[in-house]
A and B are shown apart, each in its own frame.
Chain A
């Protein structure tokens, strides 16, 4: 407490492996990956034709999401094709965010030059993670648009020389599409990072009362942010596959 609040904007490097930096957010990403894949593995082994309560619940959620995606994309085939991507974005971000306040995260680490370097850092508070997801989402959206409409038709959304208004609309569309990279990555990063800082500050001022309810609220925010990222990806895919004339 005497040393004040220490807020580090970027993930700290724990060491290097063949010149590759191993950051604490990368370590936690691997941990979450192992957990998620392990859960999926054990779940797949217990799958039965006559489901138990857990399996029935998961199947219900999957079918609900598939139906929602089919309604949004107006195609069951497209919904099945994009379901793994959208669901993985949601599950990965949600699990990462829900483990944000898990004991050990951001609290156990190495003492280095008088300050603690945490072993684990929530990946969504590292811009590399959120930006990587934003790139994946961005390229999926653009490639889907090209694959469904054809390159020239898709490009006509951005380059329109038929009229001055059309040209500016295309330019704005192009800039707003590029802006998605920033909005996708910074929205997630900002929300989760700000939440951590808020809990940290609250712990500094009212250590016995405020952090716990705020942590609960931040877990809710983490869930919502995962949902927002996944749903925006879905909606932008829908916009990408729409005919330019229809889209405007």
Chain B
């Protein structure tokens, strides 16, 4: 066995040295290559995962926003319908009020006209009576004058 080891130059000190050399390379590569690359890969993986989660949340938010917008539109439509209805009711009330007022005013005008007509007729009647009385007096005086003559 010793002859074999000697032929191949196997020496426990060199074996140990090469083992240590490999250990040094292993530690150095772990520190300078594997660890940083793994960290970068892990960091990128977490960023991608975060991005996917963010996109999912944004999509959910967008869906929520659409829903809210649709709700707001429905609310606005209902409100608008309510306003139109209120306006129509108010306009209807105004028209009725104005009609009533107009009717009242026309009735008032008619009443005033009737009163004035009655007054005028009364005055005319009174003046006619005066004229008839004066004519009667005049005729009476004329008759009396003729008898005397």
Q: Which residues of A contact B (CB under 8 A)?
A: 9-11, 20-21, 23, 26, 29-30, 33, 36-37, 40-41, 43-44, 47-49, 51, 58-59, 62-63, 80, 83-85, 87-88, 91-92, 123, 126-129, 131-133, 135-136
> What CA separation (Å) do A87 and B34 show in the bound complex?
9
Q: Given A9-B8, A91-B29, are A123 and B18 also a contact pair (CB < 8 Å)?
A: yes
Is there an interface contact between B11 and A128, defined as CB atoms closer than 8 Å? yes
A37-B32, A40-B28, A40-B32 given as contacts; is B9 within 8 A of A10 (CB)? yes
How far apart are A219's CB and chain B's nearest CB, in angstroms? 21
Is the CB of B59 closer than 8 A to any CB of chain A? no
- The interface residues of chain B lying within 8 Å CB-to-CB of A127 are 8-10
Q: Does B7 touch A at the CB level, under 8 Å?
A: yes
Cα-based distance from A20 to B17 in the complex (angstroms): 10
Contacts from B to A (Cβ < 8 Å): 7-11, 13-19, 21-22, 24-26, 28-30, 32-34, 36-38, 40-41, 43-44, 47
Give Cα A173–Cα B24 distance, bound, in whole angstroms.
32
**Residue of chain B at shortest CB distance from A80:** B38
Minimal beta-carbon separation of A97 from chain B (angstroms)? 15
A40/B33 contact (C-beta < 8 A), A10-B7, A88-B26, A127-B10 known: yes
Q: How far is the CB of B23 from chain A (nearest CB, A)?
A: 8
Set B7, B16, B21: member contacting A30, Cβ < 8 A = B21
Contact B13 A26 (CB under 8 A): no
Q: Give the secondary structure class of B's interface.
A: helix
Q: Is the CB of A29 within 8 A of B29?
A: no
User: In whole angstroms, how far apart are the Cα atoms of A135 and B15 in the complex?
Assistant: 9
Q: Given A49-B43, A59-B37, is A136 in contact with B29 using a C-beta cutoff of 8 Å?
A: no
Q: Give CA–CA (A42, B146) in the complex, Å.
A: 163
In the bound complex, how far is the Cα of B44 from the Cα of A33, in angstroms?
Answer: 30
A91 neighbours in B (Cβ, 8 Å)? 29
Nearest-Cβ distance from residue A22 to partner chain B, whole angstroms: 9
Complex Cα spacing A132 to B37, Å: 28
Question: Which residue of chain B has its CB nearest to the CB of A20?
Answer: B13
Q: Nearest chain-A residue to B10 (Cβ)? A: A127
| Complexed CA–CA distance, A117 and B7 (Å) | 17
Given contacts A29-B18, A29-B21, A127-B9, 8 further A-B contacts (CB under 8 A): A9-B7, A26-B17, A33-B24, A33-B28, A41-B28, A47-B37, A48-B40, A132-B15
- Inter-chain contacts of B16 with A (CB < 8 A): 132
Task: With CB as the reference atom, state the residue of chain B lying closest to A36.
Answer: B25
Q: Which residues does chain B contribute within 8 Å of A43, judged by CB atoms?
A: 32-33
Bound together, the chains give a CA A83 to CA B11 distance in angstroms of 30
Closest beta carbon of chain A to B9's beta carbon, Å:
3
For B24, give the chain A residue with the smallest CB separation: A33
In the assembled complex, which residues on chain B have CB atoms less than 8 Å from the CB atom of A29? 18, 21
Tell me the bound Cα distance from A87 to B24 in angstroms: 14
* Residue contact B37 to A58, C-beta cutoff 8 Å: yes
Cross-interface CB contact of B32 among A10, A41, A126, A132, cutoff 8 Å? A41
**A63 touching B41, Cβ below 8 Å:** yes
What are the residues of chain A within 8 A of B37 when measuring CB–CB?
A: 44, 47, 58-59, 62
Q: A21-B14, A49-B43 are in contact. Are A11 and B9 (CB under 8 A)?
A: yes
